[in-house]
Structure 1
Amino acid sequence: MKKIGFFRLHAARMALSLVLVLVLLLNAVGLLHLGFMARLENYAYDLRLQWTMPGTVDKRIVIVDVDEKSLEQQGHWPWPRNKLAHMVDVLFDTYQIDVLGFDVLFAERDESSGLSTLESLAQGELKADQRFEAALKRLRPALRYDDLFAQSLKNRPVVLGYYFQHDKLGQRQVGLLPEPVLPQGSFVEHNVGAMKADGFSANLPELQKAAASAGFFNASPLIDDDGVFRRISLLQMHNGALYETLGLAMARLVMRAPTVELVYEGGSHNSVALEALRVGDKRVPVDADVAALVPYRGRQGSYVYVSASDVLQAKVPADVLRGAIVLVGTTAPGLLDLRTAPMQEAYAGVELHANMIAGIMDSTIKERPAYVMGLELVLLLFTGVLLALVLPALSPAYATLLSLVMASFAVAVNLWIWSAGQLIVPLASGLVLIAAIFVFNMSYGFFVDSRAKRLLARLFGQYVPPELVDEMAQDPGAYSLAGENREMTVLFSDVRGFTTISEGLGPTQLTELMNDFLTPMTKVIHAHRGTIDKYIGDAIMAFWGAPLADPQHAHRAVQAAMDMVAQLHALEEHFKAKGWPSIQIGIGVNTGDMTVGNMGSEFRLAYTVMGDAVNLGSRLEGLTKTYGVSIIVSEFTRAAAMDFAYKELDCVRVKGKEHPVKIYEPLGLMSELAPEVRQELAQYSAALRLYHTQDWLVAADEFAKLQRQYPDCELYRLYATRVVEFIAHPPGQDWDGSHTFKTK
């Protein structure tokens, strides 16, 4: 039952934990796709975003909202272009805004003025009516609403909106696109991973030519699988040229940045990946799709909202709009410009562009560079290997504590990188790994280790204390009930005069007395890591060195024997209070080779020890009364527990043993022996030497002195009697100094 090493013991658990690490590593590098991990990572991203959003209102950007109030007061959408022209004039002339953007498409002509009907009449029924023609000529400029709207846009920093189509079945091209931000040939096309548009729906040519710029506003091609808008394309490709999003176009106007530069990894366009865009002095990080994460400021309402109807009527306080960046959009549910954001299911689409404008201006757009994958791999490997190696060695409480500490540390470091470095390092994978290894280890411990522990408890629980069962459970494979031979120490304890004691008590009292006696004796044996073999009436048989190997088995057995005697003295008051007689015990202890294992018959088995060394221990217990001592140990036990002081009692040849054995009484630890005891021991040792050299007369004098000094010592009386007998009948020159016992 040699105990195997820790790593060999927990090899299976560690190997399976490392398999979990490998699975998540493969998922991180893209060789294995775990769909739930992507969902969890999105969820972790959303939580971090919600925890760290400023939650304040950015007053630099104002949203002119075509809300329910505006629809009620100004009529259904779309409004006549002359009304929009009036709104543009009010915003720039009355409120002196900085930049205006439309999250609205003007792809169709406005026929709401009735001009087309009047033109038909002029060519038909009223063709010859000069007064009608004159009136129509005078009214025509005022009824050309698209021209009025275009005129209001001229020479003003206005950005129109349009959208690209990504449906190859339809490739429509409606309206006029703005000039691309990066024309074809100004960049290496295969090094830019921008989405390629198949068609577009843009604004009327006269409107687009009048406006300063335009940007696409559709982000739906990059919507995540769960329907949440987390990022927006900043550039999309059409016919080999790159076009900018509405937010980027407005930010460029605000910052007076004429161009957009492409920033590659390593600073060269020959690099594999595009890393960021340079807009003026701002660096805007992008991913492989040339998309940026939306730097959400908070829930809807993080920017100033004013009703479009109030703007038309100039009812908005001047300080709200003066110098502002203005976006015209809608929150009216019927106009279907609501999106799902990480922190809100119904989120106004116009605020997506507001967030992007603010993020570009403030450099708050977070990035997820390519090297983050390497960092994730290192963290997963470090965390996984550490937990795989350490958790099997820990108790459930400490394993839980370590896992919580590591998870908390991972979250804290991740949030610090998120906030201080503006970097997004995957979080869910690390937390899932910690949780998975923890749950696996706890499950393994419960279903495998605890099963082994229950088996050990069933096999050995009646013999050894619970703490030894726990220790054995650390290596259950090292213990069995199969017989084997090893050096051990056995202890026999018996109550002296038990027959007389039992005759004076009734059955109930006798049972109670034995329970009150055996329980503390057993506790002492267990406290010294002993194994209870059996109770034989009033007798106790115990051994050390099995099932748990113990190099200190002899020392523990001797100490247990002395503590049993001390415990018995402590019980005297308890026995006296109950009217029970006092109890004296004899204890025999022997060390030697024994056979230990499950022995018995097919009807009943017991984990016990057998052999000559066991029999000698039993004989020694029987000699305690003869020598008037409570404990007798053999010379073999003395040799194995040399840190105790002993009094040599005799050299005896017990029944069934051919060779004599020296026997001793343990007096206590050598280092704790009292001076008076040392003096007595020296005096007795001198008398014993005289006895062994057959100097009978001098020995008789010495033992007589010891008898007078210690009248209660049965040992000195025994030797004084023997010496007198040997004076009369000398044992002969071939005497080996031993005393032979003919009975057990």
Structure 2
Amino acid sequence: MTRWAWAVPLGALIAALTLVVLSPVPLRTARNAVFDQFQRWYPRPYLAPAVRIVDIDEESLRRVGQWPWSRTQVAQLLAGIRAQQPASVSLDIMFAEPERRAVVEGASAAGGTTGAYPTGPAMALSDPDRALAEEIRRGRVVLGFALTGSGSRSEAPGALLTRSGFVAIGGDPVAALPGFTGSITNLPDLQTAASGQGAMTFMPDVDGLVRHVPLLFNLQGQPVPSLTAEALRVGEGASGYVARTSPGEGGLIDVRIGARVLDVDQSGALWVHYARAQPQRYIPAWRVMEGHLDATALRGQLVLIGTSAQGLLDLRFSPLGGIIPGVEVHAQAIEQIVSGQQLARPGWAPAAEWLLALVGGLLVGIVALRARPGRSSATLLVLGVGVGVAAWSGFRYERLLIDPSGPWLAMLAVFTPTTLMRYRWAERRQRWMQSTFSRYVSPNLIDYLLAHPQALELGGRRQRCSFVFTDLAGFTARMESMDPAVAVTVLNTYLDRMIAIAFQHDGTLDRIVGDAVAIMFSAPVPQADHEARALRCALDMQAFARSYVDELKRQGIEFCETRIGVHTGEVTVGNFGGDTMFDYRALGDPVNTAARLEGANKYLGTSLCVSEETLKGCPEAVTREIGQVKLSGRSAALRLYEAIGLKDRGSAEDLDYQWAFDQLRAGSDEALAAFEALALSRPRDGLVCMHRDRLRAGHRHDWIELATK
């Protein structure tokens, strides 16, 4: 790898750290997705805090009447709640215009025109707005208003009468607050009667989910509270707000409401930790109006009046999934405050996330440069999981919002180009090695050496392997009668296809000696099914060799029969040689035995001779038993078989031969007659003829001794 390789991970890390600082929209979207998932894994436990929603639900609309209700009916609802002695009552509803019914009736009573607002005695008789104002004045009621004009165009704000004070500690926080240029307010009489007014406006994220609830807004340079903040302030009996800000224009740190200090983000908003839907959070409005409520159900409670009716279109999306009424967002924000379960994203969180991104990116870069892809991937996974678990633990146990997406981005940004660079470098090196050595050794051996370079050292290990030896019968003599050019072409084609078959079965080319080929299985890579692989390879080689003889015969070329031996046993495999050169091969008696089995075919009348050791791992093999054969130079006999085929390829047992062989093994006098009959019907069956000739010579057993190799 070149000297400048370090520049790749370093450049990627610098770019990632810059993105973490700038926090573009995709990164903020990822952060929101992580925090949403945390909430889904661990919603806020519902501790039945002193917050209740009086709900204008579908049943209330059915019983009382369709919306909008008369101001007299709203006053009746407020009177029923006031009788319960709540801490405060906040309306997530606006009354921006006089009630149309009052205008019409007032004009008629005064003898005026339709549309005139009633005055004097007529107003006293028919002004439900005044009746509502009187009821609001009797209780601790917070009214909601709407903010408009969040763009740059200036609008004249409505006549908003605020009741709360505002104190700033540090810099001026107003510029950091969400800015609006206008408002839609309640009727002046209602504002005058109310204990407080708060903006009902939400600030959904780009995906429409409400994750934050602002406590303060900027209305043409003046701070105004939200409905959530006012409900809490009036309920706590506080006179105003104290906002602590960072020096300069750093934004807000926290907001004090009475004795409560609330952690907020730089724009003065709370992160809402949502709880699951709870039926006890809601009280239907009709129950209050009809007096079907326990006398102390709302005593000391922070009460919000809103609607869950779908037709009134006050519905919001929550991170937990699904849609909830807008009034519940306010309620959930207040619940987490009064129950001490507020989420916090401390001011040190961005710096901690940047530091984690720096350290994680450096570690991943160092490992990715020096280690193999598997180890560097494991490092990335461990560090990524560690950061995620730390962020999750902070959320679960400390209610801290620590964003792991920044460190994840940095680590992945470093890992990806560095690993790709190493991969391309390694790929070029492997292509060079493969192109160099593929002409000399087996592909699986090349793959093994690329994955295990240490295997290139001299040495070996004990390994149970299977071997396939092939040879052409009489090819040396055949070559003398063939044109040399034709002989070389025919032999090269034959060897190429035979070796290709071996490679198809993941065999390793052990050696080529003239027209003989030696194939090894289960080395260098261990293969649990090496016996079955060896036998299948031998059968495919036999099938090709026979078809190749027929193909050449059609061309007028006489070729030779292929003899094959297959055996299995424990050998020493590894690199043997010296400093000048070495060779990867197997050494041991099973190698020699496999070669002897190939040669034994000539005496046994077979073309594919396989040992019992190999067949132990070949349950699908279809064979004919040859007998107990003592090879030249061996003290013990081997039980040998002639391979016919495989059951899964449709090969069938030779039952006639098996019956005749059973008679031979038992020493029965019927054996000779049985093999005479078989030989008569199968004059070209070499194995049958071999047993017949032995029986004619007086042998009455399956013990065969071969005197020559």
Query: SS state of the match for residue 152, structure 1?
Result: helix
Query: SS state of the match for residue 281, structure 2?
Result: strand
**CA distance in structure 2 between the aligned counterparts of 1:523 and 1:509, rounded to whole angstroms:** 35
**CA distance in structure 2 between the aligned counterparts of 1:303 and 1:169, rounded to whole angstroms:** 44
Pick from 97, 108, 112: which aligns with 1:108?
97
**CA distance in structure 2 between the aligned counterparts of 1:316 and 1:518, rounded to whole angstroms:** 97
State the 1:224 CA deviation.
Answer: 2.1
Pick from 160, 163, 166: which aligns with 1:182?
166
- Seen in structure 2, the aligned counterparts of structure 1 residues 11 and 74 have a Cα distance that, compared at 3 Å, is same
Q: After the TM superposition, which residues 428-467 of structure 1 pair with which residues of structure 2 at under 5 Å, given as runs?
A: 428-440=405-417, 443-444=420-421, 447-463=424-440
Aligned to 1:208: 191
Query: SS state of the match for residue 154, structure 1?
Result: helix
State the 1:145 CA deviation.
Answer: 1.1
User: Does 1:147 pair with 2:137?
Assistant: no
- Seen in structure 2, the aligned counterparts of structure 1 residues 189 and 435 have a Cα distance that, compared at 3 Å, is closer
The alignment's TM-score, normalised by the length of structure 2, stands at 0.61
1:581-628: per-residue Cα shift (whole Å, max 9, x none)? 9xxxxxxxxxxxxxxxxxxxxxxxxxxxxxxxxxxxxxxxxxxxxxxx
1:235-273: per-residue Cα shift (whole Å, max 9, x none)? 1234654221111111123333333222245xxx67844
- 8 Å contact from structure 2 (residues 98, 187) kept in 1: yes
Query: SS state of the match for residue 189, structure 1?
Result: coil
Pick from 226, 239, 242: which aligns with 2:207?
226
**CA distance in structure 2 between the aligned counterparts of 1:522 and 1:101, rounded to whole angstroms:** 82
- 8 Å contact from structure 2 (residues 251, 267) kept in 1: no
Aligned to 2:235: 254
State the 1:289 CA deviation.
Answer: 1.7
State the 1:358 CA deviation.
Answer: 1.6
Aligned to 2:105: 117
State the 1:97 CA deviation.
Answer: 2.9
Aligned to 1:26: 18
For residue 371 of structure 1, what is the amino acid of its counterpart?
Answer: W
**CA distance in structure 2 between the aligned counterparts of 1:407 and 1:21, rounded to whole angstroms:** 15
Q: After the TM superposition, which residues 4-403 of structure 1 pair with which residues of structure 2 at under 5 Å, given as runs?
A: 8-9=1-2, 11-12=4-5, 14-30=6-22, 34-54=24-44, 56=46, 58=48, 60-93=50-83, 95-113=84-102, 116-123=104-111, 141-167=124-150, 169=153, 171-182=155-166, 189=172, 193-219=176-202, 222-238=203-219, 240-265=221-246, 272-298=250-276, 300-301=277-278, 304-318=281-295, 320-403=297-380
Aligned to 2:587: 567
**CA distance in structure 2 between the aligned counterparts of 1:386 and 1:54, rounded to whole angstroms:** 35
**CA distance in structure 1 between the aligned counterparts of 2:476 and 2:576, rounded to whole angstroms:** 37
- Seen in structure 2, the aligned counterparts of structure 1 residues 273 and 117 have a Cα distance that, compared at 3 Å, is closer
- Seen in structure 2, the aligned counterparts of structure 1 residues 451 and 26 have a Cα distance that, compared at 3 Å, is same
- 8 Å contact from structure 2 (residues 90, 231) kept in 1: yes
- Identity within the alignment, %: 23
**CA distance in structure 2 between the aligned counterparts of 1:307 and 1:289, rounded to whole angstroms:** 35
Which consecutive unaligned segments of at least 5 residues does structure 1 have? 1-7, 126-132, 476-487, 490-501, 528-551, 582-744
**CA distance in structure 1 between the aligned counterparts of 2:388 and 2:127, rounded to whole angstroms:** 61
State the 1:50 CA deviation.
Answer: 2.0
1:65-85: per-residue Cα shift (whole Å, max 9, x none)? 122222232222221111111
For residue 251 of structure 1, what is the amino acid of its counterpart?
Answer: L
Query: SS state of the match for residue 355, structure 2?
Result: helix
User: Does 1:425 pair with 2:425?
Assistant: no
**CA distance in structure 1 between the aligned counterparts of 2:332 and 2:477, rounded to whole angstroms:** 88
**CA distance in structure 2 between the aligned counterparts of 1:37 and 1:186, rounded to whole angstroms:** 32
Aligned to 2:636: none
- 8 Å contact from structure 1 (residues 341, 347) kept in 2: yes
Aligned to 1:415: 392
Aligned to 2:684: none
Deviates most, 204-213 or 431-440 = 431-440
- Seen in structure 2, the aligned counterparts of structure 1 residues 111 and 322 have a Cα distance that, compared at 3 Å, is same
Which consecutive unaligned segments of at least 5 residues does structure 2 have? 459-469, 479-494, 499-509, 527-574, 602-709
**CA distance in structure 2 between the aligned counterparts of 1:121 and 1:356, rounded to whole angstroms:** 47
Deviates most, 461-470 or 427-436 = 461-470
**CA distance in structure 2 between the aligned counterparts of 1:518 and 1:49, rounded to whole angstroms:** 67
**CA distance in structure 1 between the aligned counterparts of 2:253 and 2:124, rounded to whole angstroms:** 50
**CA distance in structure 2 between the aligned counterparts of 1:303 and 1:435, rounded to whole angstroms:** 46
How many aligned positions are there?
A: 502
- 8 Å contact from structure 2 (residues 174, 221) kept in 1: no
Aligned to 1:696: none
- 8 Å contact from structure 1 (residues 452, 473) kept in 2: no
Query: SS state of the match for residue 166, structure 2?
Result: coil
Q: CA RMSD in A?
A: 4.4
**CA distance in structure 2 between the aligned counterparts of 1:89 and 1:522, rounded to whole angstroms:** 92
Aligned to 1:530: none
The alignment's TM-score, normalised by the length of structure 1, stands at 0.58
1:549-599: per-residue Cα shift (whole Å, max 9, x none)? xxx9986679x79x98x9355645555555569xxxxxxxxxxxxxxxxxx
**CA distance in structure 2 between the aligned counterparts of 1:504 and 1:166, rounded to whole angstroms:** 94
**CA distance in structure 1 between the aligned counterparts of 2:306 and 2:59, rounded to whole angstroms:** 14
- 8 Å contact from structure 1 (residues 251, 360) kept in 2: no
**CA distance in structure 1 between the aligned counterparts of 2:169 and 2:578, rounded to whole angstroms:** 90
Q: After the TM superposition, which residues 516-527 of structure 1 pair with which residues of structure 2 at under 5 Å, given as runs?
A: 519=518
**CA distance in structure 1 between the aligned counterparts of 2:345 and 2:26, rounded to whole angstroms:** 20
- Seen in structure 2, the aligned counterparts of structure 1 residues 172 and 504 have a Cα distance that, compared at 3 Å, is closer
For residue 98 of structure 2, what is the amino acid of its counterpart?
Answer: R
Deviates most, 243-252 or 338-347 = 338-347
- 8 Å contact from structure 1 (residues 177, 203) kept in 2: no
Query: SS state of the match for residue 265, structure 2?
Result: coil
For residue 461 of structure 1, what is the amino acid of its counterpart?
Answer: S
- 8 Å contact from structure 1 (residues 57, 303) kept in 2: no
**CA distance in structure 2 between the aligned counterparts of 1:340 and 1:522, rounded to whole angstroms:** 63
State the 1:351 CA deviation.
Answer: 1.2
For residue 32 of structure 2, what is the amino acid of its counterpart?
Answer: N
**CA distance in structure 1 between the aligned counterparts of 2:342 and 2:105, rounded to whole angstroms:** 51
For residue 419 of structure 1, what is the amino acid of its counterpart?
Answer: R
For residue 29 of structure 1, what is the amino acid of its counterpart?
Answer: V
